[in-house]
Structure 1
């Protein structure tokens, strides 16, 4: 893997300690996360971060998990079953 591919921004979903939500969001931003959505009742936030910064995000106190965002494509409803 080349240096530039490790630094490519990727979408992530982050599970955080809901009792410290605001504090964890700010620390996640400082680690390099560009927050695109906050769901405090669920204890999650979403955003983008450089691939090589994910370990720093995972190390933030209060971050419980970091999962890469994945796109799922379904066939149109009128297509044959595959």
Structure 2
């Protein structure tokens, strides 16, 4: 009998306090975030996290916003207008 599959990681984009960027990023890593990009001057970063850890990221002191990454697909340029 196989174990139920766990949902894979989800992409997230976070806004954090730029004055405490390094400290907040370390706390996010401890909360389960795998950082994939950092923009310390503007206080944003991106990463992946298990679905069940998204709320834990929101609870980290210094986090202003957590948004899930979204994929937008556009039709090819030669597709008819819909």
For the criterion TM > 0.5, the same-fold answer is yes
- Match of 1:49, SS state, is strand
Query: TM-score with structure 2 length normalisation?
Result: 0.88
Q: Which has the higher helix share?
A: 1
Larger C-alpha radius of gyration, 1 or 2? 2
Structure 1 regions of 5+ residues with no counterpart? none
What is the match of residue 63 of structure 1? 63
What is the match of residue 47 of structure 2? 47
Query: TM-score with structure 1 length normalisation?
Result: 0.88
Deviation >3 Å, runs of 4+:
none
Structure 2 regions of 5+ residues with no counterpart? none
RMSD: 1.4
Aligned pairs, how many?
Answer: 79
In 2, Cα distance between the equivalents of 1:67 and 1:80?
32
